[in-house]
Amino acid sequence: MNNISASKVKQFHRSLVVMALLAALPVGAQTTAAETIRPEIGKPLRAAQDLMKAGRFKEALAKVKEADAVANHTRYEDFILDRMRGSAATVAGDDELAAKSFESVLNSDRLQSSERLPILEALASAAYKAKDYSRAIDWVQRYFKEGGTSEQMGNLQASAHYLSGDYAGVVHDMQTRVHAVESSVPVVDETTLRMLAASYAKLGDAAGYLETIEKLLVHHPKKEYWADVLARIQAKPNFSDRLELDLYRLRLATDTLESADQYVEMAQLSLQAGLPAEAKRIVDAGYAAGKLGTGPEAERHQRLRDLAVKQAAEDDKALLVEVVGRNADSLATTGQALVSVGQLDKGIDLIERGVAKGGLKHPIETRLHLGEAYLTAGQKAKAIETFRTVSGPDGLDDMSKLWVILAARS
């Protein structure tokens, strides 16, 4: 993620070989009196060109030096010498000489615009290879200013920013790319987003980091991204204890419920919420995953399982009683319990009635639970619509966005 591959740099170098072979030769051709290459210079340059065709670049560079030794160059001869020297030096591994030669070529104003861009690419890659990241960035920026569009150059610039410790520069590069992509197609490449996230992390920008991880969840959902974002949200100092169970439900849905302690805590939270059927499912899942029922805590796990089974059986009998005339919170709570035992239609109806009745102690959280119930019932559109009405402090905004992301991909 942090580095542009060596093969990409080699591609730039190979492009220079082609450019050298297409240079303003054959020697001896005359367009004006000022654009003549004398035979004593032209002969070794022709030999250099033949040697480059044969892949003998160090020998080619020696021939260019031989031509350069001829006295009293014209400006045109200097241009051709610099061009051939730069190409030969690049592939011969003399990056410093290549950079010096190509800078002279660019300053000659004899190049066509189509010829300038490959040289700018070469200069940027040579500076990058030499770990002169500031210089590499300067050349890339000039490349884009002169009309270049290469994605490889954009990657090189971002990598140079990152390797030089300029994480704000990476953020600027990646955000520019993300915005451009999002405005045209709804997919941003994973490498761009990973580098953007890493740079936000280096800058200590937690909000920017989370926003970028959320984009990864949208475009490239992976278990590792879900685990990361959920752990960070749960660790926020203002995260409400009342949302812990909802967060664990996200963990369960994204296969990031991993440790025995997490299974135990989620089951206990479900019991405390009056949802023993959910607690029983969590404990059973923990046993099935091999996380519960083993090790020094095995006896404790079994007691939790027995309690969940007992309360689920008692709750199942209690839920057979019709719920009539209760207050909004009782309607919503009973609705959640019915959803937890699989009576989805009846449970959703009660939660909806509780929300419509008003006077709920925690109305926003109840809407979050209603969205979860819709999603459990497969009513994706209603779930997303409901989640988008959930907003507020203490983690509600974060939970809302993550449930929307999950629902959209369900």
| pLDDT, tens only, 241-271 | 999 999 999 999 999 998 999 999 999 999 9
Structure tokens at 111: 């190049």
Distance CA 270, CA 249 (A): 10
350-402 pLDDT per residue, tens = 999 999 998 999 999 999 999 999 999 999 999 999 999 999 988 999 999 99
Q: How far apart are CA 397 and CA 391, in angstroms?
A: 5
Do the domains 328-408 and 6-128 match in fold? yes
How far apart are alpha carbons 224 and 236 in whole angstroms? 19
Class of residue 107 by CB neighbours under 10 A (exposed 0-12, middle 13-18, buried 19+): exposed
pLDDT of residue 19: 47
Residue 409, pLDDT score: 85
Alpha helices for 187-318 (secondary structure H)? 190-203, 206-219, 223-234, 244-253, 260-272, 276-288, 298-318
CATH 3.30.2350.10 holds for 328-408: no
Q: What are the pLDDT tens digits along the chain (410 aa)?
A: 344 444 444 544 444 444 443 344 444 434 444 578 899 999 999 999 888 888 888 898 999 999 999 998 888 888 889 888 888 887 787 878 888 888 888 888 777 767 788 888 888 888 888 888 988 998 888 888 888 878 888 889 888 988 988 888 888 877 777 776 665 556 778 998 999 999 999 999 999 999 999 999 998 989 999 999 999 999 999 999 999 999 999 999 999 998 999 999 999 999 999 999 999 999 999 999 999 999 999 999 999 999 999 999 888 666 654 544 578 998 999 999 999 999 999 999 999 999 999 899 999 999 999 999 999 999 999 999 999 999 998 899 999 999 999 999 87
Q: Which class is domain 6-128?
A: mainly alpha
CA–CA distance, 112 with 95 (Å, rounded to integer): 23
Domain coordinates of the chain in residue numbers?
Answer: 6-128, 328-408
Q: Tokens 């206990």, residue?
A: 268
Task: Report if pTM > 0.75.
Answer: no
The answer to whether the CB of 292 falls within 8 A of the CB of 260 is yes
Residue 146 tokens, joined: 């002169």
- Predicted confidence at residue 352, as pLDDT, reads 95
Let me know the angle formed at the C-alpha of 147 by 143 and 150, rounded to the nearest 5 degrees: 65
Write the pLDDT tens digit of every residue in 195-207.
999 999 999 999 9
